Amino acid sequence: MMLRNVILAICGLLVAAAIVEYALGRATWLVIGLQAIVVIALLAFERSRYRPRIKSGSGEWVPTGEKFEDPTSGKTVEVYQNPQSGEREYRGSA
């Protein structure tokens, strides 16, 4: 979560800098293009960094016995785990 915040802050600063440069008449398409490339590269890096190594749908999901009330919806949620990947999934009870 921290990396995402840092990347979003950098992207925000680059966009603000492009707006200021354009307002001052110093912006060129090359500068704005380079800033756009940096933003796209950072977002692509952030997305690739957190991909699971195993497909989410693979393996068998086993209930852990954990249940809790979702504070947003107020519904009871049951926790399942994929023993193959260690991934956890939260399923709402009917």
Beta strands in the chain (DSSP E): 62-69, 76-81, 88-92
Residue 93 C-beta-side C-alpha neighbours within 13 Å: 14
pLDDT: which is higher, 74 or 46: 74
Which pLDDT score is estimated for 28?
77
87 by Cβ neighbours in 10 Å (0-12 / 13-18 / 19+) ranks as middle
Residue 65 has pLDDT above 90, yes or no: yes
Residue 53 has pLDDT above 80, yes or no: no
Which pLDDT score is estimated for 77?
92
Which pLDDT score is estimated for 58?
62
Q: Residue 49 — very low, low, confident or very high, per pLDDT cuts 50/70/90?
A: low
Q: Rg for the chain (alpha carbons), in Å?
A: 21
Give the Cα separation of 7 and 14 in Å (integer): 11
